[in-house]
Amino acid sequence: MTLDDLAGRIHAGDLDGVLDQATAWSAKERAAWRRRADEVYEAVNALWGPTLGERRAGWDRVHPAWFAYLLVVNRRHLGSVWSPLPDEATFQRIVQRVGDDWVLPWAASRGIHHLDDCLRIEALGYAVEHDEAWIQRMIVAGSWIRSDPESLQRVRPDVWRLFEVQGSSEASLAGHDKYGDNAWSDILITWMNDGTIDRDRLLDATLDALSRGFVSFRASWFRQFHDRLGPTRSERAARAERYVDLLASDDGPTRKLALDAIGMLEPASFSDEARLVEALGPAALVKAKGTALLAVAQIGRFSARRVLDDHAGEADVERWSRAIEAYGVALAHPHRDVQAAVLRAVHMGLSFRAAQRPPSEFIAIVQGWPELVHASLRDDAVAIVRACAPEGETATADRDRGPTPEAQPAVPGRPLLAEEVPRGPTTVDALRLAWLRALEAPEDVIHVEATLGASVRCAHPKAGDDAMAGPLGVRIRQVLDGGRNQLGFPLALVAHAWVTGREATAWGRTSTTGPAFVTPHEVGPMGWMLRPFLATRCQAIAAQIASGLDLPLLSTPTRRDGTLDVDALLARAGAWDDAGHTPAMTDLITALARVDLRSGRPPFPGDTRRLYEARRTLGPLRALVWFTVCDLDGRAPGGPPRAPALVAELGVELGLMRDDDAADGIRKVATRWGRGSTVPWPALDPPAWEPGPVAGAPGGLRCEGRHLASTVGLGLCPVRASMQAAVMAAAWSGFEEPTVAPGCAAWSALLLPTHPEPYAAWLASRASLDRGAGSDKSLAEGYRHLGAMPGPFGPWTAWALGLAMCGVAVGTRALAAELAVGWAVAERLPISALGEALAAQWSVDGLPCKRFLSAIEPVQTDPASVRALRPAVWHALRGEPADWSRDVSALLAWLVEADALVGPCPRPVEATAFLGRFRGKGKAAGFARQLLHA
C-alpha cells in the first residue's frame, strides 16, 4: 500500500478500508510506516484547507484521517493527534480492530483542553492515570464542567488535588480565573454550602496549598479563595499555628495574609507564642513596606503591651527579649519607615526596667554593618546600642559623647537618643540651607525651631537687600507672595529678617504690621488660637533679629520630643534679665508650654517668691505665672499638676493674644491667679458658644455641629481646664486647608508628651468628623504616639477614645479601640467615661454601634478585653438607641457570643429593665431572652 492509497481511502472517508488495512499490516510493515509518520501527517493535513470553512467541508473524513495517522505514528507522537475522540460506536470499532494498547498512552498525551476525551475513555472502562496533567485538564475544564453535573461528579474525588498542583503557565487556577470566571471557586463554595465537602478540610487544603511554595501569581488564587471562604475567628484560632507557618513563605502577599489572620487573633490562640514572635522578625523582611510594617507592629502586639505593664513578670520579660531579637532581624529591612518603626519599638521597650536586655541581632547589624541602617536613623540606632551595652562600656561611651545638660532623657532610665539634642546650624551656609529646608517643610517643627534659634544667634554677614538675590532670597519672595494662608509664611518673615537685617514691613497685599493676622476663616470661635499665635511669635522673632538683639529664644526645645529643660529655660531667662530686656510674650508662653510636667512634681524647684524678688523685668511676671500654675494645681483636688490645667491656662493667654497688648492680658490673669481668684469665664467665652444640653450629656456648651466630639467633651468635663483644652482641640481641628492641617498636627504633636489629654481630644475630634480622616497619616502617627504614653488617663481621654471608636475612619477607629481596650484592661482608663461616650454616640445615630463592633473586632476573643469593655457597653445600652432593632441587636449578639455574661451582671436591675424593652421585638428579643436567662 502506498501513501497515495492511504490518502485516497482517507479522502473517500472509508474508515473500514483504513481499518482493514490496519489489521492487514504486519508489525514490520507498521514499523516501516512509522518512519513515514510525518508524511502521513502532511497528507492528512492536506485534506483540510487553510481556512476553517474548508476544514468543515472535510469533516466527514476526520475519523479515517485521524485513525490513519494513529496507525502509523509512534507512541511518542500520540499527543499530536489533535482530533477529538470519535463517537462511541466508531471508537469501539477502532479498538476492536487494532487492540486497546494505544488508548491509555493516547489519553495520557491529551492536551490540557481534552478532559472530556479522558472522561469518555474512562467511561468506556479504561483506567486513565490521574496524574498532574489530569489535574491541569480539570482546572482548564472549570468553565464548562460547572454546567455538566455528570462530569462534575466524576471529577469530584480529585477535587482535593486541585490544592496540591501548582499548574503551569497554561493551566493554573489563578490564570483560569483571571481570564475566565471563578468557576472552581464557585463550584467548591457550592459544594461546601450543600455539605458535599467539608468546610474545615477546604480551609486546611487552602492553607496547605499556600504552604507549598507556589509562585506568587499561582498562589494568588488560593489567597483569594481563603478570603472568600471568610474563616471565622474561631476557625482562624484553630489554625493559628498554620498561619505562623505561612509567615515563612517567600511570597509577600501570602505573608500578608498570615499577618492579617494573626492580627485578628489574641495571644491565647497560639500554643507557642515564642515561636510566633520569632517568626515575625523574618516575616518583616519582605519587599512590600506595608507588610513589613505590619509584621513589626505584630511583634509589639504580642510582646510589648504586657512588658509595658509595671506588673510585668519574668515571663513577660522573656517574651520581650524574644521580641527584641525579632526587631533586630526586622532592622535588616532596607526601607527607612520600617527601620524607624523598629527603632521606635526597641527604644520604647528599653524605657522600662523590665526590658533592659541587649538585642544581639540588633547590635550585630548596627555595629557590624551601620551602612545598612538609614542615614537619618543611624545615630538613634547607635545610641540604643550604647544604652544596651554593659555597664563599663556605657560609662566610657557617655564620657566620650556625653549628653549636654540640656538634653537629659525625658523619662528617667530611658536611653537618650542622639536626636534629642537639638543641633541647630552653626555656620552661615548651614543656616542658609536650613532655611531653605524650613520653608519647604514648615511642619518639621524640630528643624524649624532649631533654625529659629540659630537665626537669632547667627547674624548674616551680607545683610541687606542684595542677599535676597540668592536662592534663599528667591524662595522667601515666593513664599511671601503666596499669601498668609501658608504655614511657611510667618517663617518667611523671620527668614527675611535674617537675610536682610530688617523686618518685612509690607509684602504684596498683606500688611504684616498692626493687629494679628485676620483672615475670614480665623474669625469666630474656631481658628483664632494657634496659627495667629505662631505668626505673632514669628513676627516677634523677626523683630528681634532685625534689632540685632542676640539673646537666646526662650522656647527653643532642648529635647527631640519638643520639651524644654527647666534649667535651660532659667538660664536663658537669666540672660534676658541680665541684658535688661523683656522677651516676647509669645516666646515665653511657648516656652512654658514646653516645660515637662510628666514627673508629677512642680517643675520649678525652690521658692518661686524668691524668683519674684530676684528678677527685675521678666522675673515678676514669670514668677507669678509659675507660682500660679504650681499653686493652683497643688490646691486642686486632682493632686499633682496636671497637663490640661497648664494647657487651659495658656489657652486663655492665647485667647488674649488677640489683643494688641498681649502682655497686659497675661499679667491680668496671672495676677488674679496669684491672688487665688478664679478666672472670669463669662468674660472670656466666645460669643458663639451657647449653654445647653448636648448629645445626652447633662449640660455643656454647643458650638458648630461638625465639632460634635469637642462639644460633647465640653459637656461632660466639669473641670474648666479640660473645657478650655477641648476648645483648643476644637480650634485645632478647625483648620481646613490641607497645607495647614498637617503642619498644625505636627505643632500640636509637640505638646503631646506633656499634654496627652488635649492631644487625644484633637485626635478624637478629627477622627469623628466625616472628612476622610482615615487616610490621614498624621492621625495614625498620633495614635501611635499616644499609645506610647504610660498613663493613667482621665475621663476626658476615655471620652475622646470612645468617640473615636465610633468614628467614620476605619483605621483610626481600630487604633482608638486598641488603645482603649488595652488601657481598659490595664485599668488605666475610667471605663464609665468610655461607656458615656459610647452612649452619647449611639443616642445620636445607630450606625456607630456597628462601627464600635468593627473597631473592637480584633479583641473580641480576648476574655480580658471583653470583661473590660462589658461595663462600658452595659452603661451605653442604658441610653435610648435610635436604631435598636438592627444595631443594638448586633451588640446583644456580640455580648452573647463573646460569653460576656459569664459572671455577675454589673447592674442587674438596670439590665433587666433595659432588656425588658426588647420583649417581642424581633431578632433582638431572642438575644434579650438569652441575656436574661444568663
Partner 1 sequence: MPEAATVRYAGASAMTASGLALVASNPVPDAGAAAEQTPFYVGRVHDAQTVARMLFVLGQVVDSRHHVPPQMVARLVAEADPVVTLGDGVLRFEGFSRCCSAYARVDLLPDAHLGEEARHGTTNVDFSGPLRAALGSVRARGDLGLRVSEEALAVRAGGSEIEQRRIALPDRWVRGFLHLGRHAARLTPRGEMAWPEAVRLWMQLPRDDRTPAWIARVGGGWRLVRRPVAEGIRASGTSRLRALQGLLQGASRVVWFGDPEGQTSGVVVEQGPVRFTLMTTADPWRGFSGEGDGLEHVGTGPGIAALRARLRWQPLLRAEDLGSDTAAMARLAAQGLLGFDLAEQAWFHREFPWRPERTHTLYPRIRRAERLVAEEGVRFGSDSVAYVRGTHAEHTVDLSARPVTCTCRWFAKTQGRRGPCKHVLAAQRAVASR
Neighbour count for residue 463 (Cβ, 10 Å): 17
Closer CB to partner 1, 165 or 341, in the complex: 165
Distance separating alpha carbons of residues 647 and 724, to the nearest angstrom: 8
282 binds partner 1 (CB under 8 A): yes
> What cell does 770 get?
466625616
Least separation in angstroms between residue 165's CB and partner 1 is: 7
Distance separating alpha carbons of residues 563 and 790, to the nearest angstrom: 17
**920: three-class secondary structure by DSSP:** coil
Contact (Cβ atoms closer than 8 angstroms) between residue 813 and residue 805: yes
Residue selected from 55, 287, 601, 777 as contacting partner 1 according to rule CB under 8 A: 287
In the chain, DSSP finds a helix count (H) and a strand count (E) of 51, 4
Least separation in angstroms between residue 777's CB and partner 1 is: 24
164 binds partner 1 (CB under 8 A): yes
Least separation in angstroms between residue 588's CB and partner 1 is: 48
368 binds partner 1 (CB under 8 A): yes
Type and span of the H or E element at 400: helix 391-401
Least separation in angstroms between residue 281's CB and partner 1 is: 8
Q: Which one of the spans 284-292, 426-434, 466-474, 677-685 is the region binding partner 1 (CB under 8 A)?
A: 284-292
DSSP, res 78: G
Distance separating alpha carbons of residues 591 and 426, to the nearest angstrom: 22
Closer CB to partner 1, 251 or 561, in the complex: 251
332 binds partner 1 (CB under 8 A): yes
Closer CB to partner 1, 76 or 919, in the complex: 76
- CA 130 centroid distance within chain: 46
Q: Give the per-residue contact string, 202-231, with partner 1 (x = CB under 8 A; - = no).
A: ------x--xxx------------------
238 binds partner 1 (CB under 8 A): no
Sequence length of the chain is 934
Closer CB to partner 1, 207 or 709, in the complex: 207
Closer CB to partner 1, 338 or 837, in the complex: 338
**What would the DSSP string read from start to end of 730-767?**
HHHHT---TTTHHHHHHHHHHTTTT-HHHHHHHHHHHH
Closer CB to partner 1, 212 or 658, in the complex: 212
343 binds partner 1 (CB under 8 A): no
Distance separating alpha carbons of residues 684 and 652, to the nearest angstrom: 8
329 binds partner 1 (CB under 8 A): yes
Closer CB to partner 1, 88 or 198, in the complex: 198
DSSP, res 595: B
Closer CB to partner 1, 10 or 283, in the complex: 283
Query: Which amino acid is it at 386?
Result: R
166 binds partner 1 (CB under 8 A): yes
Query: In angstroms, how far is the first alpha carbon of the chain from the final one?
Result: 93
> What cell does 743 get?
503642619
285 binds partner 1 (CB under 8 A): yes
Least separation in angstroms between residue 211's CB and partner 1 is: 4
Least separation in angstroms between residue 79's CB and partner 1 is: 8
CA-based nearest residue to 576, from 566, 593, 588, 590? 588
Least separation in angstroms between residue 334's CB and partner 1 is: 5
CA-based nearest residue to 898, from 928, 857, 933? 857
Least separation in angstroms between residue 655's CB and partner 1 is: 53
Number of chain positions touching partner 1 (CB under 8 A): 32
Least separation in angstroms between residue 317's CB and partner 1 is: 21
Least separation in angstroms between residue 173's CB and partner 1 is: 14
Query: Which amino acid is it at 535?
Result: A
Closer CB to partner 1, 287 or 616, in the complex: 287
Q: Which one of the spans 332-340, 691-699, 735-743, 903-911 is the region binding partner 1 (CB under 8 A)?
A: 332-340
Residue selected from 371, 391, 400, 770 as contacting partner 1 according to rule CB under 8 A: 371
Residue selected from 333, 475, 572, 870 as contacting partner 1 according to rule CB under 8 A: 333
Distance separating alpha carbons of residues 744 and 442, to the nearest angstrom: 10
Tell me phi and psi for residue 506, to 5 degrees: -150, 140
Residue selected from 165, 173, 385, 728 as contacting partner 1 according to rule CB under 8 A: 165
> What cell does 542 get?
523677626
Distance separating alpha carbons of residues 882 and 331, to the nearest angstrom: 49
Least separation in angstroms between residue 100's CB and partner 1 is: 20
475 binds partner 1 (CB under 8 A): no
369 binds partner 1 (CB under 8 A): yes
DSSP, res 198: -
Least separation in angstroms between residue 75's CB and partner 1 is: 12
Label residue 112 left, alpha or beta by phi (over 0 means left) and psi (-120 to 50 means alpha).
alpha
Q: Which one of the spans 8-16, 164-172, 194-202, 878-886 is the region binding partner 1 (CB under 8 A)?
A: 164-172
Give the largest CA-CA distance in the chain. Answer: 130
Least separation in angstroms between residue 136's CB and partner 1 is: 11
Q: Which one of the spans 363-371, 459-467, 522-530, 644-652 is the region binding partner 1 (CB under 8 A)?
A: 363-371
Distance separating alpha carbons of residues 100 and 92, to the nearest angstrom: 10
- The CA-CA-CA angle for residues 329, 334, 340, to 5°, reads 75
Q: Give the per-residue contact string, 239-258, with partner 1 (x = CB under 8 A; - = no).
A: --x---x--xxx--------
Q: Which of residues 93-122 bind partner 1 (CB under 8 A)?
A: none
275 binds partner 1 (CB under 8 A): yes
Residue selected from 4, 101, 131, 466 as contacting partner 1 according to rule CB under 8 A: 131
The CA R_g of the chain, rounded to the nearest whole Å, is: 38
CA-based nearest residue to 729, from 766, 676, 779, 683? 766
**629: three-class secondary structure by DSSP:** helix
Residues at the interface with partner 1 (CB under 8 A): 131-132, 164-166, 208, 211-213, 241, 245, 248-250, 275, 278, 281-282, 285-287, 329, 331-334, 364-365, 368-369, 371-372
